[in-house]
Amino acid sequence: MGGQLLEIPGISIDLAKVLHGEQYLELYKPLPRTGTLRNEAIVADVLDKGSGLVLVIDVYSYSGKELICFNQFSIFLIGSGGIGGKRTSDKVKEAVAIPNRHPDAVLTDTTSLNQAALYRLSGDWNPLHIDPNFASLAGFNKPILHGLCSFGFSARHVLQQFADSDVSRFKAIKARFAKPVYPGQTLKTEMWKEGNRIHFQTKIQETGNIVISNAYVDLVPTSDVLAKTPSEGGELQSALVFEEIGRRLQDVGNEVVKKVNAVFEWHITKDGKVAAKWTVDLKNGTGKVYQGSAKGSADVTITLSDNDFIDVVLGKLDPQKAFFSGKLKAKGNIMLSMKLQTIFKNYAKL
């Protein structure tokens, strides 16, 4: 990261005064095992925090013409603030507070004394992580571990605990770097499961200091989860999907609203009767999902069974074929049903 920062046009950066504040990563496609990735970076915003400036840098990674993943770096420049700039931005992928309860799981790993030297081989040449003299200039008594290295340990803990170490279940991660980690210290990741989002924070076991805060990993739901039989209480499988779409809109709502520009009202049936109504508003604001009829007028009202809905989501049932076979009924602008596969494939990621 250090070398790339120095190449940003029009910005002079002293690496001794640079801290990695936050990181967001989202995968759109599995990373190819071989090939060439092209990274396109932009300075999305600059925030004035008083004691320093925050550079918000968005990086889009492509394999050929296909977007593979998105990264957002928040880089804190110590001593550069106080210029009267804005403090917040709607372009920032926000950190989320952890639940107010005991963690559902805790895992630990001890870093090695040469951990920073090993991680440096990934291409981050910032001397803060290897040179004792440079580290002292930045106010540390010895080189510190890369934030993204601790970030990786934490992500691995989440996947071990909640995804059976299946990396194909990984969707996105957001973390705030709160305090430094020194090579040789033990990382303890505390985790809370809420649906397909795993909240976590990471501490130094030896000191109790929180080093990663307000963090989460989003997991891709499995077909097995979606295919579970409804509970005795009558819970519908489709509820899981609508809740997941709602979570996705927190990150990509603006993009989806611009592309879809429609309000969908869903009537989900069970045993031939309407068992639930959901509204997916992809027309107003940054989008919203809520249970019940549309608060305004819906552009299209779609009726189908809970099981058929899940088949549409999983790509087993084409919406147009479902319409012509009578499994899916639509009122209003029925042409909007053609956008359903795009919504589920590109944004629900189910």
Interatomic CA distance for residues 267 and 270, integer angstroms: 10
Strand spans (E) along the chain: 18-27, 38-48, 52-63, 66-78, 105-110, 170-177, 186-194, 197-204, 210-219, 262-270, 273-282, 288-291, 300-305, 329-332
- Mean pLDDT lowest for which of 131-145, 146-160, 228-242, 310-324? 228-242
Q: What pLDDT is attached to residue 238?
A: 86
| Domains 8-93 and 95-220 alike in fold | yes
Q: What pLDDT is attached to residue 5?
A: 55
The percentage of residues in the chain with a pLDDT greater than 90, rounded to a whole number, is: 49
Each residue's pLDDT tens digit, 65-87:
889 999 999 999 887 777 778 88
**68 φ/ψ angles, rounded to the nearest 5 degrees:** -95, -45
What DSSP string runs through 71-94?
EEEEEEEET---S---S--TTS--
Task: Please report which confidence band the pLDDT of residue 346 belongs to, taking 50, 70 and 90 as the band edges.
Answer: low
Q: In the structure, how many helices (H) and strands (E) does the chain have?
A: 9, 14
Residue 339 has pLDDT above 80, yes or no: no
Each residue's pLDDT tens digit, 270-279:
988 999 999 9
Mean pLDDT of the chain: 86
Interatomic CA distance for residues 164 and 225, integer angstroms: 14
Domain boundaries, the chain: 8-93, 95-220, 224-348
Each residue's pLDDT tens digit, 176-228:
999 999 999 999 999 999 888 999 999 999 999 999 999 999 998 875 544 44
Interatomic CA distance for residues 312 and 64, integer angstroms: 29
In CATH terms, the fold of domain 95-220 is Thiol Ester Dehydrase; Chain A (3.10.129)
Please provide the size of the chain in residues: 350
Contact 66, 26 (CB under 8 A): no
- Mean pLDDT lowest for which of 45-54, 58-67, 178-187, 338-347? 338-347
Helix axes 238-260, 306-313, angle to 10 degrees: 50
- With a CB cutoff of 8 Å and minimum separation 6, the contacts of 196 are 171, 218, 219, 220, 221, 244, 247
Ramachandran category for residue 184: left, alpha or beta (phi over 0 → left; psi -120 to 50 → alpha): left
**Tokens at residue 157, please?**
């803990």
For residues 315-321, average pLDDT: 83
The percentage of residues in the chain with a pLDDT greater than 70, rounded to a whole number, is: 89
CATH (residue range 224-348): 3.30.1050.10
Which of these, 195, 101, 194, 111, lies nearest to 154 by C-alpha position?
A: 111
- Catalytic residue positions? 124, 129, 144, 147
Task: Please report which confidence band the pLDDT of residue 232 belongs to, taking 50, 70 and 90 as the band edges.
Answer: very low
Residue 348 has pLDDT above 60, yes or no: no
For residues 59-68, average pLDDT: 91
Residue 313 has pLDDT above 90, yes or no: no
Task: Please report which confidence band the pLDDT of residue 159 belongs to, taking 50, 70 and 90 as the band edges.
Answer: very high
CATH (residue range 8-93): 3.10.129.10
Match 């549309």 to its residue by tokens. Answer: 294
For residues 6-16, average pLDDT: 61
What DSSP string runs through 254-297?
HHHHHHH-EEEEEEEEETTEEEEEEEEEESSTT-EEEESS-SS-
Q: What pLDDT is attached to residue 126?
A: 86
Which of these, 152, 116, 109, lies nearest to 135 by C-alpha position?
A: 116
Task: Please report which confidence band the pLDDT of residue 233 belongs to, taking 50, 70 and 90 as the band edges.
Answer: very low
Ramachandran category for residue 287: left, alpha or beta (phi over 0 → left; psi -120 to 50 → alpha): left
Give the side-chain half-sphere CA count within 13 A for 301: 13
Q: What pLDDT is attached to residue 123?
A: 87
